[in-house]
Structure 1
Amino acid sequence: MSYSEQLLDSIQNHDFSQSKHLLKEALDKDDPEILSSLAENLTDLGFTNLAKEVYRALIAKFPQEDLFKVYLAEIMLNDGDEDDGLSLLYGVSKESSAYLDGLLVQADYYQTNGLIETAKDKLLQALKLAPKEDAIKFGLAELDYLSGNYEQALALYEDLIQRQKTFGEVNLNQRLIATNAKLGNYEAAAKIIREHSSSLLDIDSKYEAGLVMLAVGDDDQAIKLLDEVIDQSPDYVNAYPLLAQAYEHKHDNEQVLRTVQAGLAYNELDETLYSMGARAAANLNQLDTAADLLEKGLKKAPDNSELRMQLSNLYLHRHQDKQNIVLFKDFDNENIDAQAHWNMALSYERLDDTEKAQSEFLLAYPDFKENPDFLHQMIMFFSVQNNPDITKQLLQKYLELVPEDMEMQDLYNNL
């Protein structure tokens, strides 16, 4: 048994007492091929300091063997010894057989440190040296995807998938789906999903596939994929709004509400779920549930104007006029939506507070002066208030929009 084998056995048996001695003996007496294998194994086991000693010894014995310099540099870069590692790599000449390996190590280092363009430049140099090397093409595709060059990435992925379906642990079909989606090619992405859905084992890929199928209107397939995501990981909170949306498209309010309630159990801060759940509950005539969802949602997100407006509409529908007005009591007029002014006008009118009702109608008017329903309600209010001038002006505007309304025409004629 070589000294290198003895050293590896002792490390795997957690006996480190003879490590220095065995390493010295190995360096003095083992063949270079055995030492090279020892360095590789030490690196894999995480004993990089010992591996560096082996590579340094090999470099001393074989100074022209640049591959050992590349391996040593890679360990140095991973251990944070960047200056010496890069110095070794840049010392490898372009004529060296190890130059390509050095470029790949440099590309990996620069990518890891966020220098995407520099990493890409190294890979492009490598591709010139090895134009048929798929590992380089895959690296370029990944860099293009990361930097938003989706068309270039797509071309590379499409080339790679002609020869293999996976690269390392990466499913190339998943990459094609994601890249097409980024480019807005949803139909192309959907076609891949339909043909290869069984190979989408990664939960994030299933989620992205569900998003794509939702975008192309295939709600049933979106539901299938998103259900798989939730079954696999019930706390995957981003899946719940999409699943609820798919059920909403199918007008399945019961499933929307069920999905919302399940999603809120994992993420009570999701404002979208409160809104969707309230709509579904209202469609099911479960008005107490709708109100409860909206009130809880506003407690979590008091600045959400959509939730506030939904609750205002619900209060108005249920003649809860005091609650409706309270919703906006802490807001200045300029920070209140025109629809809120309209809603409050109706509530104040029902509460016989004509002065405030008049004010709210007038505040809402600029935004709704082309809305026949609003004008009709405002006309009836000012008519009851015996304000013929404003009533007549409103009637003129209304009849321009709805000339066939004979009842309003008669009211105008009688003024």
Structure 2
Amino acid sequence: MKMEVWAMSYSEQMLQALNDSDLSSANELFTQALRHDDEDTLYSLGEELYALGFLEQAQQIYLKLLKAYPNEDELKTVLADIAVSNDQADKALNYLQSIKPTSEAYVESLLTQADVYQTLGMPEVSEAKLNQAQQLAPDEPAIWFGLGELYLSLGRYAEAVPQYQKLLAQGEDQFAGVLIQQRLGASLAGMGAYEEAVTAYQQLPAEALDKDTNFQIGFLYLQLKDYQKAIDSLQQLAQADPDYTSLYPYLATAQEKMGDLQGALLTVQTGIAHDEYNEVLYQRGFDLATKLDQEEIAQKYLQKLLAINPDNQTAVLALSNLYLKQHRYQAVRDLLSAHMPDQQDPQMLWNLAQAQAALEDYDGAKENYLLAYNSLKTDPEFLKDLIAFFQEMGLVQEAILALKNYVKLVPDDFERQELLNELEDEQQL
């Protein structure tokens, strides 16, 4: 009896060579497959190679098949996908725009066009393509997913939510490798529906609770003012991944809200140990140390922050305030002279004026008081300081003008009302 021997195609042999990590043989067999295998076999090989990430070889197969079947629109959509992966947006659009509305592949071409236009930074065109596709195929889950992803990326959370809800209602828990419940939670959080967002995240399977999701849950509890749950969630994340440094400022905030200022400061110190260039942590450290009356630590944090970013104007102002409180007037002048922004900050000008006045640099002080005046003329504390300066300098008319402005703002300050009356009477003598 003669037995029939089954011969493997070149395509099958190539895939076997790839499985054996024999790339040299795989390349030779691929060339033979292009020359000798039938079109159905080649199409199957193209699908396998595309799935494995061998886009160049898959492209060669699809181009050969498209040459034989120029009206096969499905080949154009796959070639467009490959072009997108290769950052060849124009080539992708050429393939897609050649597909006519009467084609069965037209809706798919609109979806791919939407992806292309989004990568090109043209979300309005992307949305138009998706809406056009939805009119033609209103029950297509891929369109709901595309719209949800687009709206989420644009911050249009209220529009993203129903798209993800439709997917979940159809049993689509996962789409294109994306967990829909996770996306729903992010959209709800974005629109401020924090309780609903927590509920959405809690419905995720345990294995889907990655670091970012756990962080988001802790953040949401913080927004809901459920500080203990926020602390529990963020501390659990810190134990699992202490280098996830975004968590530390929020954990410190939750601890502060619970009245544990020392614990919050320790959290900040732990965060800095893992990320010594985190400006937010240094700022939070300053705030907490100040509330704990630990001025030396507060000063250290601000100085380190300015060493990282000398242009951090919030830190410059805070440090100048601290120096003023400590009566370190030369330090105030040195700091602000070195760090005054081009758009002069009125509070910094006021601080500099106070330091200059204390150092008897009266001309400089007067100049900076006047520069700050237009922005701070409705601030009673500024006006009180300005009045005292004018009085010390013997600038009676200027003091009267400042007093008039002040008593309009604080009419029940009878002491300064009386001072105004006295100065005006002196002027009339």
* 1:9 and 2:16 matched: yes
Whichever residue aligns with residue 248 of structure 1, its letter is E
Whichever residue aligns with residue 247 of structure 1, its letter is Q
Distance 1:205 1:390, change over 3 A: same
Choose which of 225, 231, 235 in structure 2 pairs with 1:223. Answer: 231
**Pairwise CA distance, 1:175:** 1.8
Q: Is the 8 A contact 2:324 2:351 kept in 1?
A: no
**Pairwise CA distance, 1:156:** 0.9
Whichever residue aligns with residue 306 of structure 1, its letter is T
Q: Is the 8 A contact 2:89 2:116 kept in 1?
A: no
Q: Is the 8 A contact 1:244 1:256 kept in 2?
A: yes
What are the equivalent positions in structure 2 for 1:186-265 lying under 5 Å apart?
186=194, 188-193=196-201, 201-265=209-273
- Structure-2 residue corresponding to 1:51: 58
Distance 1:386 1:165, change over 3 A: same
Distance 1:28 1:254, change over 3 A: same
* 1:124 and 2:131 matched: yes
Choose which of 135, 138, 144 in structure 2 pairs with 1:137. Answer: 144
**Pairwise CA distance, 1:134:** 1.0
**Pairwise CA distance, 1:41:** 1.3
**Pairwise CA distance, 1:64:** 6.2
Q: How far, CA to CA, are the matches of 2:395 and 2:26 in structure 1?
A: 104
With structure 2 as the length reference, what TM-score do the two structures score?
Answer: 0.73
What are the equivalent positions in structure 2 for 1:299-378 lying under 5 Å apart?
299-330=307-338, 335=344, 337-338=346-347, 341=350, 345=354, 348=357, 353=360, 359=366, 363=370
- Structure-2 residue corresponding to 1:71: 78
Q: Is the 8 A contact 1:245 1:256 kept in 2?
A: yes
Choose which of 36, 40, 47 in structure 1 pairs with 2:43. Answer: 36
**Pairwise CA distance, 1:138:** 0.4
Whichever residue aligns with residue 8 of structure 2, its letter is S
**Pairwise CA distance, 1:27:** 6.1
Q: Deviations over 1:331-381 (max 9, x none)?
A: 5999363476368548855x7x49579848965777777766667777778
**Pairwise CA distance, 1:292:** 1.7
* 1:157 and 2:164 matched: yes
Distance 1:112 1:396, change over 3 A: closer
- Structure-1 residue corresponding to 2:190: 182
SS in 2 for 1:335: coil
Q: How far, CA to CA, are the matches of 1:149 and 1:22 in structure 2?
A: 47
Q: Is the 8 A contact 1:345 1:361 kept in 2?
A: no
Whichever residue aligns with residue 341 of structure 1, its letter is W
Deviates more, 1:383-392 or 1:187-196: 383-392
- Structure-2 residue corresponding to 1:170: 178
What are the equivalent positions in structure 2 for 1:274-285 lying under 5 Å apart?
274-285=282-293
Q: How far, CA to CA, are the matches of 2:174 and 2:132 in structure 1?
A: 24
Deviates more, 1:300-309 or 1:14-23: 14-23
SS in 1 for 2:24: coil
Q: How far, CA to CA, are the matches of 1:18 and 1:229 in structure 2?
A: 45
Distance 1:87 1:165, change over 3 A: closer
Q: Is the 8 A contact 1:328 1:336 kept in 2?
A: no
Q: How far, CA to CA, are the matches of 1:45 and 1:289 in structure 2?
A: 56
Q: Is the 8 A contact 2:245 2:271 kept in 1?
A: yes
Whichever residue aligns with residue 36 of structure 1, its letter is Y
**Pairwise CA distance, 1:75:** 3.7
Q: Deviations over 1:279-328 (max 9, x none)?
A: 21122232211122223333333343432333233333334344344433
- Structure-2 residue corresponding to 1:291: 299
Deviates more, 1:393-402 or 1:151-160: 393-402
Q: How far, CA to CA, are the matches of 2:403 and 2:87 in structure 1?
A: 79
Q: Deviations over 1:166-202 (max 9, x none)?
A: 3233222332233234334445435545666957623
Q: How far, CA to CA, are the matches of 1:184 and 1:90 in structure 2?
A: 40
Q: Is the 8 A contact 1:316 1:347 kept in 2?
A: no
Distance 1:23 1:259, change over 3 A: same
How much is the aligned-residue C-alpha RMSD, in angstroms?
4.6
Q: Is the 8 A contact 1:291 1:314 kept in 2?
A: yes
Q: Is the 8 A contact 1:173 1:196 kept in 2?
A: yes
Distance 1:118 1:308, change over 3 A: closer
Q: How far, CA to CA, are the matches of 2:320 and 2:185 in structure 1?
A: 42
Q: How far, CA to CA, are the matches of 1:50 and 1:224 in structure 2?
A: 51
With structure 1 as the length reference, what TM-score do the two structures score?
Answer: 0.75
Percent sequence identity is 33
Q: Deviations over 1:3-40 (max 9, x none)?
A: 1322321233315347556754686465x544432221
* 1:97 and 2:104 matched: yes
Q: Is the 8 A contact 2:317 2:347 kept in 1?
A: no
Q: Which runs of 5+ in 2 are unaligned?
A: 1-6
Q: Which runs of 5+ in 1 are unaligned?
A: none
**Pairwise CA distance, 1:135:** 1.8
Whichever residue aligns with residue 45 of structure 2, its letter is L
